[in-house]
């Protein structure tokens, strides 16, 4: 059988850091509230003019270097984002040209916070079908661009960043299973109301902002992720004890702890970056993966469970041997 294997990882973060103490000056909040409810201590925020494509390009270059693959060898780019630089061309096309990978297929996937996991699932299928041999999978966001900095319920939660992996066809595992789901019936719990054909208003930012019912999202996320990890283990023919590392979407430490508990995993086998990066949406899982690889936590041959949950709702996972 043909498997797809991760042969290199990379990530990129804006230089500017906004701490919880900085946010105390912007809204009625406290470091203590943010830390105990979410686990977040700081987030990186894109500078003026710094785009999703900038972060994606840097993350991709680092992943290519780690894999020892030239941009010209890439035959597909799939980029998960909900904050594209412009409406079109897709950010995948903008990044392709900057990398010098012109000619290969390139497209964006919008699945909110599950964007990277969706992109990975799609890329895996392209490789397993024989269509592609070397694929760049990117998750990149500048979510702070759609944050209302006067709304404490949401502005404390998000940050900017990108991560990327090079995925290559291989006779060795590889990705064992990916699971992708959506339920469009919960739009009003988590969304950004503005688009091309609906929603323009005279509000600040032309109404471009995140709308969220946090407590409801929290409950659905925990429940959904529980059944997602069950499904993924079953699809891969594995059990909890086969997993070496859980690399979850970094939205909230309490959601992460609930998933770890369901998997009977102690927190020292869970990769946590939410304290430093906050919720970077599609950037979160590949950022966490790259940090775990570069810090020496994740080793070749280990089994990793990656998962995410986000607006849509969407939820998706992958179980793979690194």
Query: Least distance to ligand ACO from the beta carbon of 155, Å?
Result: 7
Indicate the SS3 state at residue 95.
helix
Closest CA to 80 of 66, 95, 65, 69: 95
Q: Given candidates 217, 229, 258, 304, which one binds ligand ACO under the rule CB under 6 A? A: 217
Reading the block at residue 162, the tokens are 């990108």
Q: Given candidates 64, 119, 221, 243, which one binds ligand ACO under the rule CB under 6 A? A: 221
**The residue to which tokens 């780690």 are assigned:** 66
Binding status of residue 252 toward ligand ACO by CB under 6 A: yes
Is 303 annotated in the active site?
no
Query: Least distance to ligand ACO from the beta carbon of 99, Å?
Result: 28
Listed in order, strand segments (DSSP E) in 110-268 are 134-142, 160-170, 175-182, 190-191, 211-212, 245-248
Binding status of residue 25 toward ligand ACO by CB under 6 A: no
Binding status of residue 191 toward ligand ACO by CB under 6 A: no
Binding status of residue 279 toward ligand ACO by CB under 6 A: yes
Catalytic residue among 44, 181, 249, 277: 249
Query: Least distance to ligand ACO from the beta carbon of 33, Å?
Result: 4
How far, in Å, CA of 279 to CA of 287, rounded?
A: 11
80, 87, 202, 272, 275 from 254: Cα distances, Å: 25, 34, 36, 11, 12
How far, in Å, CA of 273 to CA of 279, rounded?
A: 9
Which residue of this chain has its Cβ atom nearest to ligand ACO in the complex? 214
Q: Given candidates 310, 312, 315, 322, which one binds ligand ACO under the rule CB under 6 A? A: 310
- Applying the rule CB under 6 A, the residues between 129 and 168 that interact with ligand ACO are 152-153, 156-157
Binding status of residue 192 toward ligand ACO by CB under 6 A: no
| Per-position DSSP letters for 182-222, written without gaps between them | E-GGGGGGEE----SSS---SSGGGG---EE-HHHHHHHHH
CB atoms within 10 A of CB 31: 17
Is 279 annotated in the active site?
yes
Smaller CB distance to ligand ACO: residue 79 or 156? Answer: 156
Query: Would you please indicate which residues are annotated as catalytic (active-site) residues?
Result: 113, 249, 279
Would you tell me which residues interact with ligand ACO (CB under 6 A)? 29, 33, 37-38, 113, 152-153, 156-157, 190, 212, 214-215, 217-218, 221, 249, 251-252, 279, 309-310
């Amino acid at each position: 059988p043909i498997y797809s294997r991760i042969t290199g990882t990379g990530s990129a973060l804006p230089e500017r850091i906004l701490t919880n103490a900085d946010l105390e000056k912007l809204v009625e909040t406290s470091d203590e509230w943010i830390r105990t409810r979410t686990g977040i201590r700081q987030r990186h925020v894109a500078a003026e003019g710094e785009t999703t494509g900038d972060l994606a390009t840097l993350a991709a270059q680092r992943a290519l270097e780690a894999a020892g693959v030239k941009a010209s060898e890439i035959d597909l780019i799939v980029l998960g984002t909900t904050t594209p630089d412009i409406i079109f061309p897709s950010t995948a096309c903008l990044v392709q040209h900057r990398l010098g990978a012109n000619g290969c297929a390139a497209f964006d996937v919008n699945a909110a916070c599950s964007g990277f996991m969706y992109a990975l699932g799609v890329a895996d299928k392209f490789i397993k079908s024989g269509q592609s041999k070397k694929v760049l999978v990117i998750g990149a966001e500048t979510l702070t661009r759609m944050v209302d900095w006067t709304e404490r319920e949401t502005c404390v939660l998000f940050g900017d960043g990108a991560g990327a992996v090079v995925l290559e066809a291989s006779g060795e595992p590889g990705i064992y299973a990916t699971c992708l789901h959506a339920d469009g019936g919960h739009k009003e719990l988590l969304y950004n109301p503005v688009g091309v054909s609906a929603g323009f208003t005279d509000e600040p930012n032309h109404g471009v902002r995140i709308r969220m019912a946090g407590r409801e999202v929290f409950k659905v996320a925990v429940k959904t992720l529980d059944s997602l990890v069950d499904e993924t283990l079953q699809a891969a023919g594995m059990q909890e004890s086969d997993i070496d590392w859980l690399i979850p979407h970094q939205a909230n430490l309490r959601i992460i702890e609930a998933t770890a508990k369901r998997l009977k995993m102690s927190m020292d086998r869970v990769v946590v970056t939410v304290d430093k990066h906050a919720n970077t949406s599609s950037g979160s899982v590949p950022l966490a993966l790259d940090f775990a690889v570069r810090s020496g936590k994740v080793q070749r041959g280990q089994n990793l469970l990656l998962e995410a949950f986000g607006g849509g709702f969407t939820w998706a996972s992958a179980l793979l041997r690194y």
